[in-house]
């Protein structure tokens, strides 16, 4: 067997959500196609023995390419799942979403900047077990052709007494009422060398927008309105 084709009795986990992301990083770098994206799906789960269970994947930064900037706060490659609305999350589970925003400057600089990751903070109101399965907590998403690397992600546990603990990339920990989980997802790598004229924010590439339409959009509106 091998890393990508293990024997049936091998102990494996996360092949679909983590290993697959890193395989794409290797292929894109080999062809010099674009800088690395966050390289992870940031798998977060929590639950208890009272039939409470929740699983989410969290977005990060996309890598930049030869003529585009990386998108911020998006899923890339193997996934494009939507995250649970804050109101639904807090209504159905004993948690409070304290913060959910982009993580400024976490994308790598370059002629085209990498996209930024996100900052997501969840306060637990009841004792539960938190499990995390993530990547790019040690090795940065690579930049390409002179572009800078994106920032690594971080998984932090802030105890109710103020202590902050780095959980590493993969962990399972008991959460007590008042504890906060802080998730900082990786940014994407930059592409090309930084030029002075492109350091001016007013001269950065602007994304084009589009108006959603069609049967899938109509279906989404129906689901969100129900």
Tell me the DSSP string of 37-98. Answer: ------EEEEE-SSS-EEEEE--BPPPPBTTBPPPSSB--TT--PPPPPHHHHHHHSSEEEE
Percent of the chain whose pLDDT exceeds 70? 90
Among 174, 134, 176, smallest CA distance to 154 is for 134
pLDDT bin (cut points 50, 70, 90) of residue 123 is: very high
Q: How much is the pLDDT for 156?
A: 99
Closest by CA to 175, choosing from 184, 165, 185, is 165
Alpha-carbon span 169 to 184, nearest angstrom: 11
| For residue 50, pLDDT beyond 80 | yes
Q: Which residue has the higher pLDDT, 68 or 4?
A: 68
Average pLDDT in the 135-148 region?
Answer: 97
Q: How does pLDDT run across 91-112, given as a tens digit for each residue?
A: 999 999 999 999 999 999 999 9
Please say if the pLDDT value at position 206 is more than 60: no
Give the model's pLDDT for residue 203.
Answer: 47
User: What is the average pLDDT across 29-48?
Assistant: 96
Task: Place 202 in a pLDDT band, splitting at 50, 70 and 90.
Answer: very low
80 close to 134: Cβ distance less than 8 angstroms: no
Give the pLDDT confidence score for residue 173 in this predicted structure.
98
> To the nearest whole number, what is the mean pLDDT of the chain?
90
Q: Is residue 197's pLDDT more than 80?
A: no
Question: Above pLDDT 90, what percent of the chain?
Answer: 73
Distance CA 25, CA 21 (A): 6
Backbone phi, then psi, for 168, in 5-degree steps?
Answer: 75, -170
* pLDDT band, residue 18 (cuts 50/70/90): confident
């Amino acid at each position: 067997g091998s890393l990508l084709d293990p024997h049936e009795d091998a102990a494996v986990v996360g092949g679909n959500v983590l290993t697959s992301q890193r395989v794409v990083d290797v292929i894109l770098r080999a062809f010099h196609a674009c800088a690395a994206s966050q390289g992870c799906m940031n798998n977060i789960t929590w639950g208890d023995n009272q039939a409470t269970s929740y699983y989410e994947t969290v977005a990060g930064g996309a890598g930049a390419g030869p003529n585009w900037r990386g998108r911020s706060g998006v899923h890339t490659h193997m996934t494009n799942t939507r995250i649970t609305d804050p109101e639904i999350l807090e209504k159905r589970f004993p948690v409070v979403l304290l913060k959910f925003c982009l993580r400024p400057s976490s994308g790598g600089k370059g002629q085209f900047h990498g996209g930024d990751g996100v900052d997501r903070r969840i306060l637990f109101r009841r004792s539960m077990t938190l499990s995390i399965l993530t990547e790019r907590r040690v090795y940065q998403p690579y930049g390409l052709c002179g572009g800078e690397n994106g920032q690594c992600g971080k998984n932090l546990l802030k105890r109710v007494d103020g202590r902050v603990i780095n959980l590493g990339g993969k962990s399972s920990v008991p959460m007590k009422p008042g504890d906060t989980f802080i998730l900082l997802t990786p940014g994407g790598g930059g592409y090309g060398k930084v030029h002075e004229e492109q350091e001016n924010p007013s001269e950065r590439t602007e994304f084009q927008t589009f108006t959603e339409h069609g049967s899938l959009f109509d279906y989404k509106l129906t689901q969100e309105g129900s």
